[in-house]
């Protein structure tokens, strides 16, 4: 018997880990160039522009947008079915289970705002290239800074905790000890990426 839900959930898990992970690491790596100042970030952004537009558009649509839309839409379906009860059961795993879904809801709104404004309006409609100076001006508002940092933290936690759930879903970590180890490693990665985010965000207020 072909269990559709079984395979769809695994495709959902795979899209989240690979696609979200790829986008997240590229985003953090590129933005971390802000630590080197305007020239560092602008050089990194200019290198992205060297990719031929048809190839770049194909990657954006087929390699990022479509998988993320599938992951997001099906993720909303899963979240609506989930029963979060971290207050009744105070285990770390239960809190992570709840946070995974809370961050998912937040990311839906955050990505619509962030991608919609910077990618579609600023870059697409006005034709203004993304640069250190543009982002520096963008982050003049404390509200924007807080929302951006929260969005990055949400994406980082969602991805890192997703590593743990991915390993469990795909049977990579079968025992409690193996699951605990991968969870500790994942949360360590989460802390490191959050720290890098705060460092490169601080660069916009230094230069």
Tens digits of residue pLDDT in 143-165: 999 999 999 999 999 999 999 98
Residues in the chain with pLDDT values less than 70: 1-3, 82-91
The pTM (predicted TM-score) of the whole model is 0.89
- Residue 1 is predicted with a pLDDT of 41
Q: What are the tens digits of pLDDT across the range 107-121?
A: 999 999 999 999 889
8 Å CB contact between 162 and 20: yes
- Residue 56 is predicted with a pLDDT of 85
Domain residue ranges in the chain: 4-203
Cα–Cα dist 98/86, whole Å? 7
Q: How distant is the alpha carbon of residue 45 from its chain centre?
A: 19
> Which residues neighbour 89 within 8 Å (Cβ) at sequence distance 6 or greater?
none
Which uninterrupted H or E stretch holds 123? Answer: none
User: Which CATH class name applies to 4-203?
Assistant: mainly alpha
Cα–Cα dist 37/40, whole Å? 5
CA distances from 16 to 70, 118, 138, 195 (A): 9, 22, 28, 22
């Amino acid at each position: 018997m072909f269990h559709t839900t079984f395979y769809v959930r695994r495709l959902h898990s795979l899209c989240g880990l690979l696609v979200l992970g790829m986008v997240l690491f590229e985003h953090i790596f590129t933005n971390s160039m802000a630590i080197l100042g305007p020239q560092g970030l602008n050089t990194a952004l200019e290198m992205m522009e060297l990719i031929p537009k048809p190839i770049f558009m194909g990657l954006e649509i087929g390699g990022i947008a479509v998988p993320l839309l599938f992951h997001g839409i099906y993720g909303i379906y899963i979240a609506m079915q989930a029963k979060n009860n971290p207050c009744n059961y105070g285990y770390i795993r239960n809190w992570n289970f709840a946070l995974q879904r809370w961050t998912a809801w937040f990311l839906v709104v955050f990505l619509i705002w962030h991608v919609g404004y910077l990618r579609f309006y600023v870059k697409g409609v006005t034709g203004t290239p993304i640069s250190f100076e543009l982002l520096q001006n963008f982050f003049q508002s404390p509200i924007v800074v807080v929302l951006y940092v929260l969005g990055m933290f949400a994406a980082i936690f969602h991805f890192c905790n997703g590593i743990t759930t991915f390993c469990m879903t795909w049977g990579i970590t079968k025992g409690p000890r193996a699951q605990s180890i991968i969870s500790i490693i994942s949360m360590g990665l989460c802390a490191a990426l959050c720290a890098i985010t705060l460092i490169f965000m601080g660069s916009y207020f230094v230069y």
